[in-house]
Amino acid sequence: MKHLLLAAIGLFIVLAAQPIQAQDKPTKAERRAAALDLRSDMRTWFEADVYPSLKKWHQEYDASLSSEDLATLAKYRAEAKQLKDAMRKDMMALKGTMKKGDRDEMHEKMEALREKHHDAMENIIDGVKPIIKRSKVKLRSIFDTNEDQIEAWRDKAREIMKTWSSEHQGMGRGGKKGHGPQGMGLPLMGQDGKHAALKFVLWDGTMPPIEDEMLGNDPLNGQPGQNRNTLGQMKVAPAPSGNAATITVGNVPNGPAKLEIYDMNGTLVRSVNVTATNGTIEQRVDLSDLPAGSYMASVNTAMGRRTAQVIKE
């Protein structure tokens, strides 16, 4: 097993969070705008080119497990997701209570929170390790078979970063370790195979959320992000669907948006211009000429994206 799956699962998370220290000290608004540009480019690419393949491999892995292991894993995945959500909420609550200028104190408290959540995650990892051991042959097969594809994604990520850097001169490429394109980007793809496998196994198969840190906000500053209001969940009805499906997303900004449907190879099969009114997008999509199978629906709004699986019978 090589270093591969962490690259795929965390690719847009890792590369989209870019609070960067620049030589000409850009303003907070400029940094946020630059980070939004990068996040948008990376997320669009990830959803179209990476996520469908990654989801397919994930389903293939789950299908190889015994019913008992799959049930146990589902429990640990839910616990891991709840833990991450709790971590996010705790961090934002701490950020909201601290006064501007108390960066050292906030840093200490954030480190204490990370340690607490790390200990809880270790308990989850201990429960998952036996399943990973029993399924290591399948994991190795998935990783090794798709090595060329993931290496191609690495190249594409570099290309996106290079384009972003050329379009945002003066933002720099430095910053604290783990906070710049190099520190938070490609080097993380060199994680050991065990770490990559663990990330893959505990992943619940959904698109990672867009957090405030991914929108260019420094988690140590005292200002809440401008995009803290998150999009509502995407709903597909009926599920499974027949010749048509109605796709609904709430808590979206009013105005134009785009609804896209991809097959599991990442090929765009539908693109519909939609309009959000009263904070909601509700669109009926014709699926009659599509073969039965799984598809990914993606709605792109001014506030970000939402995705969901569409199953046509």
pLDDT average, residue stretch 153-178: 68
* Range of lowest pLDDT (66-70, 97-101, 249-253): 97-101
Task: Please tell me whether residues 137 and 189 are part of one structural domain.
Answer: yes
Task: Please tell me whether residues 104 and 241 are part of one structural domain.
Answer: no
Q: Is the confidence at residue 74, as pLDDT, over 90? A: yes
What's 261's domain CATH number?
A: 2.60.40.2550
Most confident of 8-12, 135-139, 140-144: 135-139
Q: Is the confidence at residue 310, as pLDDT, over 90? A: no
The reply to whether 180 falls in a domain is yes
For residue 243 the two structure tokens come to: 């010749």
Task: Please tell me whether residues 193 and 99 are part of one structural domain.
Answer: yes
> What would the pLDDT profile of 218-242 be if each residue is shown by its tens digit?
322 333 333 334 677 788 999 889 9
Task: Please tell me whether residues 208 and 263 are part of one structural domain.
Answer: no
- pTM of model > 0.85: no
Q: Is the confidence at residue 255, as pLDDT, over 50? A: yes
Task: Please tell me whether residues 173 and 278 are part of one structural domain.
Answer: no
* Range of lowest pLDDT (112-116, 154-158, 303-307): 303-307
Please report which confidence band the pLDDT of residue 32 belongs to, taking 50, 70 and 90 as the band edges: low
The reply to whether 138 falls in a domain is yes
pLDDT average, residue stretch 131-145: 89
Task: Please tell me whether residues 136 and 262 are part of one structural domain.
Answer: no
Task: Please tell me whether residues 250 and 207 are part of one structural domain.
Answer: no
pLDDT average, residue stretch 251-260: 88
Task: Please tell me whether residues 264 and 199 are part of one structural domain.
Answer: no
pLDDT average, residue stretch 304-308: 75
pLDDT average, residue stretch 166-176: 57
Most confident of 51-55, 101-105, 285-289: 285-289
The reply to whether 17 falls in a domain is yes
Q: Is the confidence at residue 212, as pLDDT, over 60? A: no
Task: Please tell me whether residues 119 and 240 are part of one structural domain.
Answer: no
pLDDT at 176: 38
Contacts of 285 (CB under 8 A, 6+ apart): 244, 245, 246, 247, 259, 261, 270, 272, 297
The reply to whether 144 falls in a domain is yes
The reply to whether 223 falls in a domain is no
pLDDT average, residue stretch 138-161: 83
Please report which confidence band the pLDDT of residue 272 belongs to, taking 50, 70 and 90 as the band edges: very high
pLDDT at 199: 83
Task: Please tell me whether residues 194 and 244 are part of one structural domain.
Answer: no
The reply to whether 57 falls in a domain is yes
Task: Please tell me whether residues 269 and 203 are part of one structural domain.
Answer: no
Structural domain count, the chain: 2
More confident residue, 26 or 71: 71
The reply to whether 35 falls in a domain is yes
Domain span at 84: 4-215
More confident residue, 174 or 45: 45
Average model confidence (pLDDT) for the chain? 74
Q: What percent of the chain has pLDDT over 90?
A: 19
pLDDT at 11: 52
pLDDT average, residue stretch 271-279: 91
Q: Which of 180, 215, 250 is the last residue of a domain?
A: 215
Q: Is the confidence at residue 52, as pLDDT, over 80? A: yes
Task: Please tell me whether residues 140 and 251 are part of one structural domain.
Answer: no
pLDDT at 70: 94
Q: Is the confidence at residue 178, as pLDDT, over 50? A: no
Q: Which of 155, 184, 215 is the last residue of a domain?
A: 215
Q: Is the confidence at residue 209, as pLDDT, over 70? A: no
pLDDT average, residue stretch 253-275: 85
pLDDT average, residue stretch 108-129: 83
The reply to whether 229 falls in a domain is no
